[in-house]
Amino acid sequence: MCGIVAYIGPEKAGPILFDTLKRLEYRGYDSAGVAIRSDGEIQVLKSAGRIGDLEKVYVGMGMPGDTVGIGHTRWATHGKPSDKNAHPFISGDIAIVHNGIIENYLELRDLLTQAGFEFKSETDSEVLAHLIKMYYHGDLADAVTKAINRVEGSYAVAVVSASSPYLVCARKDSPLVLGIGKDANYVASDVAALLPYTRDIVRMKDGEIVLLYGSKEIEIRDLSGITQTFQTEKIDWNIDAAERGGYPHFMLKEIHEQPRALQETFAGRISEIDGDVQLDLGRTNEEIESLERVSIIACGTSYHAGLLGKYLIPRAAGLPVDVEVASEFQHIQLRPRTLVLGITQSGETADTMISLKKSKTCGVGRLAITNVVGSTVTGLVDGTIYTRCGPEIGVAATKTFTGQLAALFLLAIRLGRARNHLTPDQGRKMLVELTRLPGLVQSVLDKREEIRKVAEEYAGAGCYFFIGRDFLYPIALEGALKMKEIAYIPSEGYAGGELKHGPLALITEKTPVVAMATCGRKIQSNIKEVRARGADVIAFATEGDPDIDKVASTVIELPRTRPVYSAVLCTVGVQLLAYYTAAKLGLPIDKPRNLAKCVTVE
Ligand code: F6R
């Protein structure tokens, strides 16, 4: 996610803003900027690239500005990484930095354009600067309150004005903390930025607006202007722990970010009224109707996401799907009415890029699902669906995988609606249930202690099996991959029905079997098969399932949802299982041996 910092106090703001921004560099960013009050004006300095380079420019200018300012590191979600899309955004004597997604930005952009405001970027955030300016008549807190009452979506925002004695910040669904210094106040999206300055922090709540003055004084109000009480918390984490948000590893932090990441993937794309989805697919409904096939190419975890597409898209959109590991992709067989879909969280994986380039020679339509705005893959395709999960630091893909699944759900519904394979009512029902998914994922995360105990019990296993059927077969493969890559335990992922065709020979009382059991009853026969060979079975099953206790040795209950969406819930379960196994074994979870986050060689 992007990073926000702000400062108001007795010291020069610039050096503090650059220092706090550098403390957010570990999260990844593509551009950075600051807005500092200077001789009764707001001076903005921003560019694509490194914070250190921007700081050199600031120092070269003689370190202008006084004691109030805001700063930002951007990780692009709307509009590519560039100088003009970098934050802060300025409107007259007001500057803002923003994290989150303004879902109704197109409507607000039209309104503000008609009111005479000129837009200089491709971002959704810039509407906030102009909206606040439109409402600003000397009371900055009032202007921010009025502006955010017009906004749909998520935000953490910090606002500075040349003429206001205080800074303002506000949040909804995007983190923001206040740092209370000796005689200064700080703001950051992440505690790690503030630790050298203060350990007294206040975690802002959704719907709060804060006024920060240049002394210790702060005032917190709700959206109707009523003053709120607040509690200060003392942070005793060291800097390393703070970067991980207090989690022992980035992987665990990123697993816990999944409800929020899913919300971002859905934000502004779902129309429950129409039972449809808005996506940039780079083609008309007529072109979608004339499609004959979807060919998915991807590697590793992204390939497992693609496999789920193979079960999903034919049912939702009536289109056959084949899925190929990118390094084995045979483009020669492609027919013209095929849509080639590349799935890649990094957008840079060499095998996937090469296959997409080859597919161009066949004159097919091309689409990408990726997490990285402006990555190489986006230049090779006609349309891109961004997963908007924020940067992922742990080498093992977690939140980017569930983001890919979420993007595939949206794509399947869009294709289904465009091809009249789904009625508006069917689309609506699927979407209503889909919007519950972030909350359901949170309930799985709340079972982490139960999953940790199971993981620790079996951490000494020499071999693991993961089994699933239908939508859950790809998740069995993904569970096995996670266990291999971070816990170094040889693990097999199998379709339940395949066990008796060979792998049963490996099953003994020393082989724990993880069964994804939320989709159909046939998996119970497979559970019985392995139980009969002495294996313990850990089943992820739907709560209230009357039979599963009779067959599995351990049952982890997941909330009830559509079978296809339960794939996401099972995913979170197997991620936690692999994570706690590796943690018990004391392994370097965020950087497993021999693996890299982005594989840019064939
Ligand atoms: C496993 C993992 C890898 C990647 C694969 C493709 O946890 O992360 O298997 O999924 O290297 O990477 P992307 O999605 O960047 O193309």
Residue 217 pLDDT class (50, 70, 90 cuts):
confident
- Determine how many CB atoms are found less than 10 A away from the CB of residue 267: 19
Nearest alpha carbon to residue 164 among 136, 187, 183, 145 = 136
Residue 558 and residue 520 in one domain: yes
Please report which confidence band the pLDDT of residue 236 belongs to, taking 50, 70 and 90 as the band edges. Answer: confident
Q: CA dist 438 to 174, 215, 239, Å?
A: 14, 39, 29
Whether residue 360 is predicted with pLDDT greater than 90 in this model: the reply is: no
What dihedral do alpha carbons 413, 415, 416, 418 form, nearest 10°?
A: 120
The mean per-residue pLDDT over the stretch 99-105 comes to 91
Q: Is residue 174 part of a domain?
A: yes
CA of 344 to the centre of ligand 1 (A): 7
For this structure, is 399 an active site residue?
no
Classify residue 163: in a domain, yes or no. yes
List pLDDT tens digits, range 404-425: 999 999 999 999 999 999 999 9
**Ligand 1 centroid, distance to 147 Cα (angstroms):** 40
- Do residues 165 and 155 lie in contact, with contact meaning Cβ atoms separated by under 8 Å? no
Residue 599 lies in a domain: no
Distance, CA of 523 to CA of 115 (rounded, Å): 61
| Stated length of the chain | 602
Q: Whose CA is nearest to atom 15 of ligand 1?
A: 346
Q: Is residue 341 part of a domain?
A: yes
576 lines ligand 1 (CB under 6 A): no
152, 208: one domain: yes
Residue 1 is predicted with a pLDDT of: 63
Atom 9, ligand 1: which residue's CA is nearest? 300
| Res 331: pLDDT | 75
Interhelix angle for 300-317 vs 399-418, to 10°?
20
Task: Return the bridge partners of 181, or none.
Answer: none
The model's confidence at residue 541, banded by pLDDT at 50, 70 and 90, is very high
Q: 457 and 415, same structural domain?
A: no
Summary mean pLDDT of the chain: 94
Asked whether 251 lines ligand 1 (CB < 6 A), one says no
Identify whether 592 is part of a domain.
Answer: no
List, for residues 105-152, the tens digit of each pLDDT value.
999 999 999 999 999 999 999 999 999 999 999 999 999 999 999 999
pLDDT tens for each residue of 295-344: 999 999 999 999 999 999 999 999 999 999 999 998 777 888 999 999 99
- Which of 255, 301, 351 for mutating ligand 1's site (highest number of atoms within 8 Å of CB)? 301
- Start-to-end Cα distance in the chain: 29
238-276 pLDDT per residue, tens: 877 878 888 999 999 999 999 999 999 999 999 999 999
Residue whose CB lies within 8 A of the most ligand 1 atoms, among 251, 323, 345, 389, for a mutation test: 345
**Residue 593 is assigned to a structural domain of this protein:** no
Do the domain assignments include residue 594? Answer: no
Radius of gyration of the chain (CA): 25
Task: Tell if the pTM clears 0.75, that is, is over it.
Answer: yes
> Residue 476: what residue type?
A
What are the beta bridge partners of residue 359? none
Amino acid (one-letter) located at 487:
A
Q: Whose CA is nearest to atom 10 of ligand 1?
A: 301
Going from the C-alpha of 48 to that of each of 10, 73, 286, 386, 464, the distances in angstroms are 30, 10, 38, 20, 46
Tokens, residue 30? 């593509």
Q: What is 158-173 written as a DSSP string?
A: EEEETT-SSEEEEEES
Among 435, 466, 487, residue at a domain's last position:
435
Are 226 and 257 part of one and the same domain?
Answer: no
CA distances to 193, 299, 324, 403 from 340, rounded to whole Å, are: 42, 14, 11, 19
Calculate helix-pair angle for 399-418, 258-266, nearest 10 degrees: 30
Could you tell me if 305 and 229 lie in one domain? no
The contacts found for 51-58 with CB under 8 angstroms, 24 or more apart, are 51/18, 51/21, 51/22, 51/25, 52/22, 54/18, 55/18, 58/14, 58/18, 58/34
The runs of H, that is alpha helices, within 334-388 are: 350-360
Catalytic pick among 429, 584, 591, 597: 597
- Cα-to-centroid distance, 38 and ligand 1 (Å): 46
**Ligand 1 mean position, distance from CA 258 (Å):** 17
Q: What are phi and psi of 153, to 5 degrees?
A: 130, -155
Residue 16 is assigned to a structural domain of this protein: yes
d(CA 528, CA 531) in angstroms, rounded, equals 5
* Per-residue pLDDT at 318: 97
- Distance CA(297)–CA(283), nearest Å, equals 19
If you measure from the C-alpha of residue 596 to the centroid of ligand 1, how many angstroms do you get, rounded to a whole number? 9
Strands 338-344 and 321-325: unpaired
Which residues in 87-119 are b (16+ Cβ under 10 Å) and which e? bbbbbbbbbbbbbbbbbebeebbebbeeeebeb
Do 235 and 283 sit in the same domain of this protein?
no
Catalytic residue among 2, 169, 519, 570: 2
**At 373, is the pLDDT very low, low, confident or very high (cuts 50, 70, 90)?**
confident
Check whether residue 227 and residue 346 sit in a common domain. no
Q: Cα separation of 78 and 102, whole Å? A: 10
CA distance 445 to 568: 12
Rounded Cα distance, 28 and 329, in Å:
31
Out of 251, 346, 590, 591, give the residue to mutate to test ligand 1, the one with the largest number of ligand atoms within 8 Å of its CB. Answer: 346
Indicate whether residue 396 lines ligand 1 (CB < 6 A): yes
Confidence bin at 596 (pLDDT 50/70/90): confident
CB 347, CB 302: distance < 8 Å: no
pLDDT at 28: 79
Q: How far apart are CA 391 and CA 29, in angstroms?
A: 8
Instruction: Say how many Å lie between the CA of residue 598 and the centre of ligand 1.
Output: 7
Q: Is residue 526 located within the same domain as residue 390?
A: no
Final residue of a structural domain among 190, 213, 243: 243
Domain identity same for 229 and 306: no
Number of structural domains the chain divides into: 3
* Cα 396 to ligand 1 centre (Å): 8
Instruction: Give the closest residue to 467 by CA, choosing from 535, 514, 525, 399.
Output: 514
Ligand 1 atom closest to 300 (CA): 9
C-alpha 373 chain-centroid distance: 13
Answer yes or no: is the C-beta of 300 below 6 A from any ligand 1 atom: yes
Packing angle, helices 563-584 and 448-457, rounded to 10: 50
Closest ligand 1 atom to residue 345 Cα is 14
Q: 78 and 181: one domain?
A: yes
Residue 175 reports pLDDT greater than 80: yes
Share of the chain above pLDDT 70, in %: 100
Residue at a domain's end among 435, 462, 477:
435
Distance (Å, whole) CA 92 – CA 108: 18
Nearest protein CA to atom 7 of ligand 1, as residue: 396
DSSP string, 485-537: HHH---EEEEEGGGGGGTGGGG--TT--EEEEESS-STHHHHHHHHHHTT--E
d(CA 104, CA 154): 11
Q: Report long-range pairs for 109-116 (Cβ below 8 Å, ≥24 apart).
A: none
Q: Where are the alpha helices (DSSP H) in 155-298?
A: 239-243, 250-256, 258-266, 285-289
- Which pLDDT value is given to residue 186? 97
To the query of whether residue 597 is one of the catalytic residues in this protein, the response is yes
Confirm or reject: Cβ of 375 under 6 Å from ligand 1.
Answer: no
pLDDT, mean of residues 440-454: 98
Q: What is the CATH number of the domain that holds 9?
A: 3.60.20.10
> Based on the domain organization, do 238 and 311 belong to the same domain?
no
Residue 562, domain CATH: 3.40.50.10490
pLDDT reported for residue 363: 80
Range of the domain at 535: 444-584
- Both 262 and 370 in a single domain? yes
Q: Which atom of ligand 1 is nearest to the CA of 352?
A: 16
Q: Does residue 485 line the site of ligand 1, with CB under 6 A? A: yes
Q: Is the CB of 349 under 6 A from ligand 1?
A: yes
Ligand 1 close to Cβ of residue 370 (< 6 A): no
Average pLDDT over residues 55-64: 93
Side-chain half-sphere exposure of 259, counting CA atoms within 13 A? 13
